[in-house]
Amino acid sequence: MPAKFRRPLLLAVGALLATAVAVPVGSAWAAGPESAAPSAPGSHAEPRIVGGSESSLADHPYAVYLTDENGSQFCGAVIVSPSAVATAAHCAKALPASSVRVVAGRQDKRTDDGVELAVARVWVDPDYTDPTKGADVAVLTVRGRLPYRAAKLADKTAYRDGAQATVLGWGRLSEGGQRSDVLRSVDVPLVSDSGCKTAYDSYDASSMVCAGYPEGGKDACQGDSGGPLVIGDTLIGIVSFGDGCAKAGKPGVYTRVSTYASDIEAQSQPRLLG
């Protein structure tokens, strides 16, 4: 069965978002928008934090989320500079930039904490076509300033089989389950490239990295797409896709940040704004 992307929560809005972007969900997922609406047809993404616990922005101030103009959260993102966040390309393409807001400093979505900033500019990796083919990375430049610490970008030395990493998000607590109102996190080990290739025929070690337990039980899910996978404060992955959520033998797949670090850094500079 082909891998499905963890679609954005907004894509759950069904017909409304179906025309915006097809983010795989279901048995496989690609992180992306997920609002209260049903999932978009043909989408396979179901990003969320499964098997984790509430986390604190005091420990992870770079974790942010994306909403539509009505305030519905659909994806995650991560601060990479005072003026920009990185996210998944399939999240960036889910809605027009004018409809997207970046919410930072808000651990509980039911509060008014932190800041909400509009998006001034969107960069999507030119090689992106869909999550299972890699290059699932984008940078959103905000209108204003993000007054929180940015994550560091990984280099090639950050990836060691079995290393414990942390994935963060506000997505669903189980496949098709309840959405979280608060930031959650779960620790998952990095999986070898050979193990990822066994799980997903489309796995590309140059652009992707996998994380998860052989028995499943802990993973990202719907609504977590675009969010960070970190070791300490170093961003090593961006939630991209997977087969279901927390399934045995199906680790989550993340964009390999080290491959795109120079592009992310270049696109994060305020001078690029026209």
CA angle 133, 247, 195 (to 5 degrees): 55
**pTM here?**
0.85
Query: Tens digit of pLDDT for each residue in 223-234?
Result: 999 999 999 999
Q: How distant, in Å, are the alpha carbons of 154, 176, 236 from that of 232?
A: 11, 30, 10
Domains of the chain: 153-258 (2.40.10.10)
For residue 53 the two structure tokens come to 């616990």
Annotation marks residue 225 as catalytic = yes
Annotation marks residue 60 as catalytic = no
For residue 223 the two structure tokens come to 């609504």
For residue 270, what pLDDT is reported?
Answer: 78
Query: Tens digit of pLDDT for each residue in 141-185?
Result: 999 999 999 999 999 999 999 999 999 999 988 777 788 999 999
Annotation marks residue 55 as catalytic = no
In the set 225, 240, 258, 268, the catalytic residue is 225
In the set 35, 55, 90, 240, the catalytic residue is 90
The rounded radius of gyration (Å) of the Cα atoms in the chain is 16
**What is the rounded (10 degree) CA torsion for 168, 171, 172, 175?**
-80
What mean pLDDT, rounded, does the chain reach? 84
Mean pLDDT, residues 229-254 taken together: 96
In the set 68, 125, 130, 136, the catalytic residue is 136
